[in-house]
Amino acid sequence: MALDQMNEMSDETLLDLYGQGDPAAARALTLRLTPRVLGYAARLLTDRAEAEDVTQEAMLRLWKMAPDWRSGEAKVSTWLYRVVTNLCTDRLRRTRGVDIDAVPEPEDDQPAADERLQQATRMAALDKALATLPDRQREAVVLRHIEGLSNPEIAEILDISVEAVESLTARGKRALAAALSDQREELGYSNG
C-alpha cells in the first residue's frame, strides 16, 4: 500500500496493519509518531540525547505490543504518551538533582534582529522554566498546552482524575508565568 494512502489512516489502523506484517505501516508509524514522541520527551527531559533514547525505547515498546493491541480500547497516542511519561519520570528520578544549568541559556546579548534566533531564545527560556516545575506539573502543562491534549486524555495518561489535571495545569501555569515574568522584554514581549 502507498505511503500517501497510509497518511490518511488512523494510528490504530496502521498499528493493526503492522501487526499483520505490513512494512509500509511500520514506515508510516515511524514517520508520524517519532517526531511527536521526541518533542514530548525533549520537553520533559530538556536533553536531546536522552530524549532520543526515550523515543527509541518507547517506539520499541510499541512495536512489541502491536500483536496484542486491541482496537477500540485506547488510542495509540494516549498509550504512547503514557509510556514516554513513565520513561522520562524514571530517568529524571535516576538523575535527580538534574542540572538546570544544563538547559541552554537564552543568549542575552544576541541582537533581536534574527527572528529565528529570538524564537530559539524563547523556547530555551520556556524549557528552562518548565524544568523548574515538579514532574507532575510539568507533564500536565506540556500535555495540555504544548501537545494540545484534552484534560480527560491527560487524566488517562497520568492515571489521575480530571480535577487533579486541572489543578496541576493551573498551578504549573502560574509557576511558569512567575518564572518568566522578569524576562518579558528579553524574550521579545512588550510590557504593554
Partner 1 sequence: MVKHTEDHSHLDLLFQEARETSVEPSTDLLARVLDDGLAHMPVAEVAVAPVSCAPAWRRFLSALGGWPAAAGLVTAAVTGVSIGYAAPGPVGNVTSGFGLEIGTGYDVVDLIPSMDGFYAEVEG
Binding interface with partner 1 (CB under 8 A): 18-23, 26-27, 29-31, 34-35, 38-39, 42-43, 52, 55-56, 59-60, 63-64, 66-67, 119, 122-123, 125-126, 145-146, 148, 173-174, 176-178, 180-181, 184, 187, 189
Q: Which is nearer to partner 1, 103 or 125 (CB)?
A: 125
Distance in Å, CB of 67 to partner 1, minimum = 5
φ, ψ dihedrals at 3, nearest 5° = -65, -35
| Coil, strand or helix at 159 | coil
Instruction: Identify which of residues 35 and 159 has a Cβ nearer to partner 1 in the complex.
Output: 35
- Minimum separation from the CB atom of position 93 to partner 1 (A): 23
Shortest Å, Cβ 21 to partner 1: 3
Of 51 and 157, CB closest to partner 1: 51
Q: CB of 38 within 8 A of CB of 23?
A: no
- Secondary structure tally for the chain: helices H, strands E: 9, 0
Contact 103, 124 (CB under 8 A): yes
User: CB count, 10 Å around CB of 77?
Assistant: 19
Q: How far, CA to CA in Å, does 125 sit from each of 31, 90, 133?
A: 28, 24, 13
- Smallest gap from Cβ 114 to partner 1, in A, equals 15
Is 82 or 122 the residue whose CB approaches partner 1 more closely? 122
Per-residue cell: 10 = 488512523
